[in-house]
Chain A
Amino acid sequence: AQSVAQPEDQVNVAEGNPLTVKCTYSVSGNPYLFWYVQYPNRGLQFLLKYITGDNLVKGSYGFEAEFNKSQTSFHLKKPSALVSDSALYFCAVRGYSSASKIIFGSGTRLSIRP
């Protein structure tokens, strides 16, 4: 069965510092991995995805994520945080042969202090 773990409920970072939001996954076969962001009282917005190829994936708003197959991780990163990055972040996985289910983690609240 597929599963996604986001071990941190909240991450606090000072503006201008690098940030990392952690995600690990479990799936049979090769995964498709996604990051989404949710602002208050809104639906989720797509940030980036890993399908195949380069392990470092670049996405919207300066975010990137690194796929690590041996550690089954897909951590979200940004070199320099902005206050406007404060939001709820979700990691999601879809297995290559999983009959189309996309499973989400529990979410990590990112708080950037000025």
Chain B
Amino acid sequence: NAGVTQTPKFQVLKTGQSMTLQCAQDMNHEYMSWYRQDPGMGLRLIHYSVGAGITDQGEVPNGYNVSRSTTEDFPLRLLSAAPSQTSVYFCASSLTGTGEGELFFGEGSRLTVL
């Protein structure tokens, strides 16, 4: 049982390049989400999904796209990377999209945009 798996763990991009951060979970969780972690800012919600085919915006969605074609996968796309997107990104999932379920986190993906 792998839990939440994120790839890649490290990535360096040039301004304007595109890339996709992958997230997969094997716990049959309905809810998946992406956060970014910056010093002094805590975790900020980028996008989330309450089930396959359903996505919604979080606190800081600009510059990021997501899709949820399967229950297991929730990729995060950066279409044109900017230095302000340098951060550590975490994918997290929970059993349901409502209420009391706690989040299970991946190990994070460290992105540097030059």
A106 at interface by CB-CB < 8 Å: yes
Contact check, A101 vs B48: say whether CB atoms are below 8 A apart. Answer: yes
Contact check, B42 vs A45: say whether CB atoms are below 8 A apart. Answer: no
CB distance from A31 to the nearest CB of B (A): 11
User: How many cross-chain pairs have Cβ atoms below 8 Å apart between A and B?
Assistant: 62
- Residues in A with CB closer than 8 Å to B59 are 103
Most chain-A Cβ atoms within 10 A of its Cβ — which of B31, B41, B100?
A: B100
A44 at interface by CB-CB < 8 Å: yes
Contact check, A51 vs B107: say whether CB atoms are below 8 A apart. Answer: no
- Please measure, in the bound complex, the distance between the C-alpha atom of A94 and the C-alpha atom of B102, giving whole angstroms: 10
* Interface range on chain B (Cβ under 8 Å from partner): 20 to 34
Contact check, A103 vs B45: say whether CB atoms are below 8 A apart. Answer: yes
Find B43's partner among A32, A46, A99, A104 (CB 8 Å cutoff).
A104
Contact check, B90 vs A44: say whether CB atoms are below 8 A apart. Answer: yes
Given contacts A43-B105, A44-B105, A103-B59, contact A32 B45 (CB under 8 A): no
Given contacts A42-B107, A43-B90, A101-B48, contact A106 B98 (CB under 8 A): no
- Please measure, in the bound complex, the distance between the C-alpha atom of A101 and the C-alpha atom of B49, giving whole angstroms: 10
* Interface range on chain A (Cβ under 8 Å from partner): 20 to 34
8 Å CB contacts to B: which residues of A61-114? Answer: 90, 92, 94, 96, 99-107
A-B contact pairs, 18 of them (CB 8 A): A42-B107, A43-B105, A43-B107, A43-B108, A44-B43, A44-B103, A44-B105, A45-B105, A46-B102, A49-B102, A51-B99, A101-B58, A102-B33, A102-B45, A102-B103, A103-B59, A104-B44, A107-B42
Shortest 9 CB-CB contacts between residues of A and residues of B = A43-B105, A106-B42, A104-B43, A46-B102, A51-B100, A100-B97, A44-B105, A107-B42, A104-B42
Residues of B within 8 A of A (CB): 4, 31, 33, 35, 40-45, 48, 50, 56, 58-59, 90, 92, 97-100, 102-108
